[in-house]
A and B are shown apart, each in its own frame.
Chain A
Amino acid sequence: MALNHKRKVMAAAGIAALSLTTAACGSSSTNDPAAQASADTTDYSDWCSMKSELTGKTVSIYTSIVTPEDASHKASYKAFEDCTGVKINYEGDKDFEKNLPQRAQSGNLPDVAFIPQPGLLQTMVDTGKAIPASKTVGDEVDKYFGADWRKYGSVDGTLYAAPLGANVKSFVWYSPKTFKAKGYTVPTTWDELMSLTAKIAADDPGAKPWCAGFGSGVATGWVGTDWVEDVLLRTAGPEVYDQWVNHEIKFNDPKVADALAKVGAILKDPKYTNGGFGAPSTIATTTFQDGGQPILKNKCYMHRQASFYASNWPKGTKVAEDGDVWAFYLPSVDASSKPFLGGGEFVATFRDAPEVKAFAAFLASPDWANAKAKATTNGGWVSANKGLDVKNLVSPIDQKSAEILQDPKAVFRFDGSDMMPSAVGAGTFWSQMTNWVKGQDDKTTLDNIEQSWPAN
């Protein structure tokens, strides 16, 4: 509070430049005119005509996308490389999230980083090394992504990073064949989902309606956070969801408790989970990759997981509406609203040079999105870029995801744990959800997470 007051006094004194350095303290600060004014207004949209200026230059990229997914990324830059003569150096690292802040501190930053979490973007902006997006990138984001995505790529009102790839998390994987054979229909409301769950449990004693896996090494528990986010988005609505993510309501607010109870009614009921693995507590130790596999063995009927789960099905599995597996939209309370949870990466830049800015502009454009779609010959990639032609995506689930992402009526919310402070979003939220699924009660779980929220 003292800081806010100080800032107001300064603004009154008209020392606009100083506000840049004092903006420091708050993550809650409002638009910063000084920072916005510094955005580069050079036009980079026509990068192809910049060959004389750019040729021979190098741009380094650092990402969490590793083999084999990196191949299609590298291929998608070819048009840019051919056109400008810029060489792109790609570096993938599984420990990207941990190493990027360290690299900022040791002065070893890449030119471009694909950041999968708005929270990490905030951290990188806090280092003072991130460069605000150029006007060209801002225009592309406004035109092709919309206000929601712009907000997630911005810190304190300044756009730093344009969205790159995206994924849709509000999916329930199931087997259309089995559903058809048993006469089940895809539920369109939460009540229908629960009655279908009860019906399956009663019909088939040899299997269970749901299967899940929270295991993911250090990140164990993230699947549980997605469940809570997805359900809260439905039961309390997007506004409450935003308040919860920003800690404007407490983590253990009754509305959150209600959502967790709804999740628990599925995940912690031994009649309903964990199909193919045993008791509900096995969810904690089952890896998320294995989590949905029992669907293929008819040990489990439904598995809530993001669009990217498509790549986890074994070779030869037909992922289609009439195939072995397919996904339906996790229904909302009623059919009138269709909020969905998702995630994605953002292109942050750390070097103020024309070749870096031209490349960032290229990545924000539909040209890149379509090139990437064509380069991804096995599927498993989608973008929220509205200029992306859905026909260029090869897999049906990617097409379905792209349609949801581009639907102007769909209410999109970013994965909340990716936006919360790391102590919660990559700490207690994960670990407490793991404890919860192993038997810890709802209240202790939410109270523990609330208690761990950083004070400032």
Chain B
Amino acid sequence: MFATSVATITAAGTASKLGTMVLGLAVFAVVFVGILLFASLFKGRVGEKVQAVAFVGPTLLFISIALIYPAILTIRRAFYDGKFFDLNFGSLRSRGKFVGFENFQLLWTTPGLPEVFRNTVFWVVLVPFLATAFGLLYATLIDRARGEAAAKALIFLPMAISMVGATLIWKFVYFYNGDPGSNQTGLLNAIITKLGMDPVDFVGNAPGNTFALIAIMIWIQAGFAMTVLSAAIKAIPDEIIEAAKLDGVSGLKMFRFVTLPSIRSSVIVVLTTIAIATLKAFDIVQASSGGKLGDSVLANEFYNRSFVTQQPGLGAAIAIVIFLLVMPIIVFNVIQFRKDA
């Protein structure tokens, strides 16, 4: 929908949309101030309760409308067939039929989908651990080194590039020309052929292409891991470091027994954040091949089934699987927060 609206924007349209936005913000401000004034009318014990409801109520209301209601619809959708996403749509000539767990069965029987699960496992395991490992290594190495700021900026820059942009950049890196004897314009293949080896079709063949795409995600996420972990390392009290040094700890041992335990909670946050981002990321696959070369992942397949092949029931089933996979990560995260608190 967004793409559509962008395409339609004309000069006049922009002006009217801007007006709508300003109006919306004004209404929001009025409502906000109204709630504040209303809550301030009540004092004492009752007042506290009213204030709590006044502040939390709207948030809960909006979460219910924008998050919980659609989630329920999606879960319901997963048990129906038919071409349309919204079962409540009034005048459909063909309504979805209740099909039980058929859509979930399709997850295993549809050709290509089992590989999607395999690829997703590669992504979720490799990206968080490798990105965190690179980030941690880099943060440790440059900590208090000369030119630290510049070194940090260098690895943080990919974070500022959109995933689609990053994918296009890497497409040039991976580019493969299969015609014998021709010049390789892709960076990696140019290097490989200069070294006297045969060029490699990095993104063309499964399952290898999944790893080529995972490298892009790591390239993007390592900067995030580095920034957070570097801050955590800096937050370790100097006394602890000095005490450890007096005890004769240095190098790897310092990292293993002092630095790592001190920043444990940050490492977990980084790992889980990247894991969730990885489960949701479909841009890289979409921009490289659309997932057509045996390199699709769940998030891409959710989009593909919901909107391209018009199997919204199957799409909803995939969405639920993603949700179920994200769940344990979030639960783990919350448990860790509780421990630290």
Give me the interface of A with B, judged by CB distance under 8 Å.
Answer: 23-25, 27, 66, 91-95, 97-99, 101-106, 123, 125-129, 215, 217-221, 274, 276-279, 281-282, 284-285, 299, 421-423, 426-428, 430-432, 434-435, 438, 448, 451-452, 454, 456
Answer whether A277 and B177 are a contact pair too, CB < 8 Å, given A24-B93, A127-B91, A422-B309. Answer: yes
Q: Which one of A27, A97, A101, A218 contacts B292 once the chains associate, using CB atoms below 8 Å?
A: A218
Contact A285 B203 (CB under 8 A): yes
Name the one of A129, A218, A276 contacting B286, with C-beta atoms under 8 angstroms. Answer: A218
Report if A93-B178 is in contact (Cβ < 8 Å); known contacts: A220-B292, A284-B204, A422-B308.
no
- Distance A456 CA – B201 CA, assembled complex (angstroms): 40
CB distance B93 to A428 under 8 Å? no
B92–A127 touching, CB < 8 Å: yes
Known: A93-B3, A218-B304, A423-B311. A128 touches B91 (CB 8 A): yes
Closest Cβ–Cβ distance, residue B54 to chain A (whole Å): 32
- B122 on the A face (CB < 8 A): no
Would A99 and B3 count as touching, CB distance under 8 A? Answer: yes
A132 CA / B84 CA spacing, docked (Å): 21
CA distance A386 to B1 in the complex (A): 37
- Once bound together, how far apart are the Cα atoms of A285 and B310, in whole Å? 25
Could you say which of A66, A127, A448 contacts B93, with CB atoms under 8 Å apart? A127
B68-96 contact mask (Cβ, 8 Å, vs A): 1 or 0: 00000000000001011110010111110
Please state if B308 and A456 are interface contacts (CB–CB under 8 Å): no
Tally of contact residues, B, Cβ under 8 A: 43
Bound CA–CA A60/B142 (angstroms): 59
- Check A127 against B84 for contact (C-beta < 8 Å): yes
Q: A284-B204, A426-B309 are in contact. Are A217 and B290 (CB under 8 A)?
A: yes
Other A-B pairs, 9, CB within 8 Å; known A422-B309, A428-B110 = A99-B3, A101-B310, A102-B307, A105-B84, A126-B94, A217-B289, A278-B179, A278-B180, A434-B292
With A285-B204, A432-B111 as known contacts, state yes or no: A93 contacts B7, CB within 8 Å. yes
**B196 nearest CB across to chain A (Å):** 18
| B interface, CB within 8 angstroms of A | 1, 3-4, 7-8, 81, 83-86, 89, 91-95, 97, 109-112, 176-180, 201, 203-205, 286, 289-294, 304, 307-311
Q: Are A220 and B290 in contact (CB under 8 A)?
A: yes
* B111–A456 CB distance below 8 A: no
Q: Is the CB of B178 within 8 A of A279?
A: yes
Residues of B within 8 A of A104 (CB): 89
Give me the 6 closest cross-chain CB pairs, A-B, nearest first.
Answer: A278-B178, A128-B91, A427-B309, A218-B290, A220-B292, A448-B111
Are A98 and B84 touching (Cβ within 8 A)? no
Q: Which residue of A lies closest to B84 (CB)?
A: A105
A99/B304 in contact, CB under 8 A: no
Q: How far is the CA of A282 from the CA of B291 in the complex (A)?
A: 16
Q: In the complex the two chains form, what is the Cα distance from A430 to B304 in whole Å?
A: 13
Chain B residues whose CB sits within 8 angstroms of the CB of A98 once the complex forms: 307-308
Whether the Cβ atoms of B178 and A126 lie closer than 8 Å is no
Residues of A within 8 A of B91 (CB): 127-129
Q: How many angstroms from the CA of A274 to the CA of B112 in the assembled complex?
A: 25
Chain B residues whose CB sits within 8 angstroms of the CB of A128 once the complex forms: 91-93
Closest to B86 in A: A105
How far, in angstroms, from A220 to B288 measured CA to CA in the complex? 11
Residues of A close to B84: CB separation below 8 A: 101, 105, 126-127
* Contacting residue for A125 out of B81, B93, B304, CB 8 A: B93
B159 shortest CB reach to chain A, Å: 26
Quote the shortest CB–CB distance from A204 to chain B (angstroms): 14
CB atoms of B179 and A299 under 8 A apart: yes
18 residue pairs bridging A and B, Cβ less than 8 Å apart: A99-B3, A102-B85, A105-B84, A126-B84, A126-B93, A220-B292, A274-B178, A281-B201, A281-B205, A285-B293, A422-B309, A422-B311, A427-B309, A431-B111, A431-B292, A432-B111, A435-B294, A456-B97
